[in-house]
């Protein structure tokens, strides 16, 4: 069966070979808008990943994208359910085609793949293959790039690019950077496991942002990552804004637990959590944080640890914490934790606004004017925050293990900016133990991670984490939570 569909002037065939069962489909998918014009060398490079360690990474990320309507955050459950799923890169005279076997049927409507899912699928291919040609990204994932007889990387991309520019190059490669656009991109962080009321509040804030012409960037998953985008689509539609941007930034080890929601119209897959977080703060102009769990705390600590660095004292990045009536008081708890661990001075970097979506949007719009003036004064680009200094240890990839978690220094003797780095790493490890497949396997095989440090810091963490567990912020769907950590009080 062959079906044809159109968007604008592009009409592309999609061949559906067979509907295997109500749950899976076989299909052949052609690219649209990206990876359409390729040299023979580029096509061969794409096909070569089938013989490398990257193939399984690509297969799993592709499966996560296709499994777009799922409500689980257990990656191993998804992989087991679709154990027979395969994806092959087929070479054609003018480019490539993806051949899918036993793909989740939810990605198709009447046998035709959804346009958004198709775009996400080729974004995964683009970014995974781009990473495969970069020795810095490979090193972060514990892989080895191809080398010549002298041991030098053979890919042209690796000849001269410093590791510091990897984030920029990946964002540019994904066409996320728009040189002539004025500051209006709002990064929204928050939990994937939130209540219906919290979701509706996120959506109402997004609606108010959309009415004011602001675009949205999130981690691209469900919950507080989807709500602002959905609300903004309505605000943009009412203002006849047809160029609304809904950017999703993910990473390979989290994408199965937080599959990209279909509203995302620009997706990029960064190599790891540190580069994902850096991408948010480099490309975004302001940040709004909604209630969430340990992943949200990791994000908060990343931006606060960065802003507290003396090198950033003259930079402007609006940072707003906001929650609806149903979770009123949530950010008072976050604020208390931050003050207990990082000191009273941390409060100067954020504003808390409760249950006022319109006030949040107005404050962020005014913040954009300040960002514009600040970028002009510092002669920095609007589309990428070059002058923001991210501490080297904040950017360094933290390899989660039982040994690295127990070795973290959680001491109030450290400068606040350094303690923020180690606290972020502690929460990053808990995220891995909760939802990332490799972390979940570690916990199953060796038991929970053990955290040690000053009693005051550990007590503050314990109170915060117990609150997250009680509020169901650790797992989707209210599933019972078995802690992946122990706090050595």
What is the pLDDT, as a whole number, of residue 165?
A: 85
Q: How confident is the model at residue 43 (pLDDT cuts 50, 70, 90)?
A: low
Is the domain of 7 the same as that of 155?
yes
Whole-number percent of the chain with pLDDT over 90? 63
pLDDT for residue 42:
63
Query: Which CATH number is 252's domain given?
Result: 3.40.50.450
DSSP assignment letter at 97: E
Full residue range of the structural domain in which residue 112 is found: 2-160
pLDDT at 326: 94
pLDDT of residue 156: 39
- Considering its fold, how many domains does the chain have in total? 3
Query: 327 pLDDT exceeds 60?
Result: yes
Rounded to an integer, what distance in angstroms lies between the CA atom of residue 423 and that of residue 426? 5
Average pLDDT over residues 164-178: 89
Residues 338 and 241 both lie in one domain: yes
- Per-residue confidence (pLDDT) for residue 54, from 0 to 100: 75
* pLDDT for the residue 46: 64
Q: What CATH number should be reported for the domain holding residue 118? A: 3.30.1850.10
State which of 392, 426, 459 marks the end of a domain: 392
- Whether residues 314 and 217 share a domain: the answer is yes
Query: What confidence tens digit (pLDDT) does each residue in 263-312 have?
Result: 999 999 999 999 999 999 999 999 999 999 999 999 999 999 999 999 99
Q: Which range has highest mean pLDDT (4-13, 164-173, 294-303)?
A: 294-303
Average pLDDT over residues 241-262: 89
- Mean pLDDT of the region 196-215: 97
Is residue 434 one of the residues assigned to a domain? yes
pLDDT at 127: 87
**What is the rounded average pLDDT of the residues 3-16?**
34
Where residue 254 falls among pLDDT bands split at 50, 70, 90? confident
Instruction: Report the pLDDT value the prediction gives residue 478, as an integer from 0 to 100.
Output: 59
Task: Choose the weakest-confidence range: 114-118, 152-156, 181-185, 318-322.
Answer: 152-156
185-189 and 286-289 as β-strands: parallel, antiparallel, unpaired? parallel
User: Is the confidence at residue 432, as pLDDT, over 80?
Assistant: yes
**Does 410 or 253 have the greater pLDDT score?**
410
Measured between alpha carbons, how far is 266 from 392 in angstroms, rounded to an integer? 28
pLDDT grade for 463, boundaries at 50, 70 and 90: very high
As a whole number of angstroms, the distance between CA 57 and CA 64 comes to: 11
Instruction: Identify whether residues 136 and 213 lie together within a single domain.
Output: no
Q: How far apart are CA 450 and CA 469, in angstroms?
A: 17
Judged against a pLDDT cut of 90, whether residue 74 lies above it is answered with no
- Is residue 259 very low, low, confident or very high in pLDDT (cuts 50, 70, 90)? confident
**pLDDT tier for residue 313 given thresholds of 50, 70 and 90:** very high
CA nearest 99: which of 111, 114, 85? 85
CB 86 within 8 A of CB 102: yes
Does 320 fall in a domain?
Answer: yes
Q: For the chain, what is the mean pLDDT? A: 85
Task: Tell me the H-state helices in 4-133.
Answer: 40-48, 54-66, 75-81, 115-132
* Entry pTM: 0.86
Identify whether 443 is part of a domain: yes
Give the residue with greater pLDDT, 6 vs 407.
Answer: 407
**Do 16 and 136 reside in the same domain of the chain?**
yes
Specify the pLDDT at position 163.
Answer: 55
Whose tokens are 């609006």? That residue is 318
- The predicted model gives 130-144 an average pLDDT of 51
Q: Give a yes or no: residue 165 inside a domain.
A: no
């Amino acid at each position: 069966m062959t079906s044809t569909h159109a968007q604008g002037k592009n009409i592309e065939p999609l061949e559906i070979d067979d509907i295997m069962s109500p749950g899976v489909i076989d299909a052949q998918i052609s690219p649209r808008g990206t990876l359409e014009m390729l040299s023979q060398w580029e096509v061969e490079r794409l096909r070569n990943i089938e013989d490398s360690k990257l193939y399984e990474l690509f297969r799993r990320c592709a499966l996560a994208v296709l499994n777009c309507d799922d409500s689980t955050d257990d990656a191993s459950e998804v992989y087991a359910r679709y154990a027979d799923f395969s994806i092959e890169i087929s070479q054609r005279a003018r480019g490539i085609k993806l051949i899918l076997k036993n793909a989740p049927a939810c990605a198709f409507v009447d046998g035709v793949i959804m346009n958004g899912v198709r775009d996400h699928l080729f974004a995964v291919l683009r970014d995974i293959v781009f990473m495969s040609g970069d020795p810095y990204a490979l090193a972060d994932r514990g892989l080895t790039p191809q080398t010549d007889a002298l041991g030098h990387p053979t890919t042209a991309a690796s000849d001269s690019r410093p590791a510091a520019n990897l984030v920029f190059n990946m964002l540019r490669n994904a066409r996320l950077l728009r040189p002539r656009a004025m500051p209006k991109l709002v990064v929204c962080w928050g939990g994937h496991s939130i209540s219906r009321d919290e979701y509706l509040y996120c959506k109402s804030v997004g609606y108010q942002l959309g009415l004011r012409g602001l675009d949205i960037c999130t981690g691209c998953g469900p919950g507080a990552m989807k709500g602002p985008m959905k609300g903004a689509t309505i605000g943009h539609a009412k203002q006849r804004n047809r160029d609304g941007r809904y950017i999703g930034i993910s990473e390979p080890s989290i994408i199965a637990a937080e599959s990209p929601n279909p509203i995302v119209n620009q997706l990029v897959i960064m190599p790891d959590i540190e580069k994902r977080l850096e991408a948010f703060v480099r490309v975004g102009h302001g940040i709004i944080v909604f209630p969430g769990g340990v992943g949200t705390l990791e994000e908060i600590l990343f931006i606060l640890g960065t802003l507290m660095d003396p090198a950033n004292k003259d930079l402007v990045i609006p940072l707003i914490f906001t929650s609806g009536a149903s979770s009123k008081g949530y950010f008072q708890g976050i604020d208390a934790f931050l003050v207990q661990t990082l000191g009273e001075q941390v409060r100067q970097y954020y504003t808390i606004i409760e249950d006022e979506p319109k006030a949040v949007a107005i404050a962020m719009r005014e913040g954009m004017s300040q960002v514009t003036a600040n970028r002009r004064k510092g002669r920095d680009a609007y589309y990428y925050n070059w002058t923001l200094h991210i501490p080297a240890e904040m950017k360094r990839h933290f390899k989660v293990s039982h040994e690295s978690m127990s070795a973290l220094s959680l001491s109030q003797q450290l400068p606040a900016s350094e303690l923020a780095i180690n606290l972020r790493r502690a929460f990053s490890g808990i995220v891995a133990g909760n939802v990332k497949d490799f972390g979940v396997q570690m916990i199953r095989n060796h038991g929970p991670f053990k955290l040690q440090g000053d009693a005051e810091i550990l007590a503050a963490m314990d109170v915060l984490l117990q609150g997250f567990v009680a509020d169901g912020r650790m797992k989707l769907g209210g599933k019972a939570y078995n802690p992946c950590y122990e706090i050595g009080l």
